[in-house]
Amino acid sequence: MSDLAAAGMILALAVFVLFFYFFLDKWIQDRVAVILTGVLHGVSISTKDRWTLLRTSWLGTIFGGVGLMLIQILMWIVLGRQVANDELRLLAYLNGFFAAIGVANWVYQGATQFPHLVSVLRQAEAD
């Protein structure tokens, strides 16, 4: 693979991963706000619907996002192995490292937010 083609692929994949991560992170935070407040697009929703959002939308997005980011990390590794230029290889591996930080962030968010969301929903059921 030529250096120019590799640089173009690294740039294109980096821009995609960046926008993907921030879009999905905003989506996750919006789901958290809906689950916590019980208000979706200005309309109150039932506790049952909030539980459904937690199990389907929030958990699905966390697991799906982590899975897709892991695939993207593998793409960075494969791309790095295809590049002959040491600087471009390092750039590909660094991008993979930063994608791994994103995965760690979502795993941390999931581990810390899930018990809190469950607690809030149980309290809402008790009230």
- Secondary element (H or E) of residue 40: strand 39-40
- The percentage of the chain sitting over the pLDDT mark of 90, rounded to a whole number, equals 83
Q: To the nearest 10°, report the CA torsion of 34, 36, 39, 40.
A: 10
pTM for the predicted model, two decimal places? 0.83
Supply the pLDDT for residue 33. Answer: 95
The two tokens of residue 43 are: 């309309």
- Helix (H), strand (E) counts: the chain: 4, 2
pLDDT digits (tens, 9 = 90+) for 77-115: 999 999 989 999 999 999 999 999 999 999 999 999 999
DSSP label at 41?
T
Spell out the domain ranges in the chain.
3-37+46-126
Confidence label for 68 from pLDDT (cuts 50, 70 and 90): very high
Residue among 43, 28, 37 nearest 107 (CA): 28
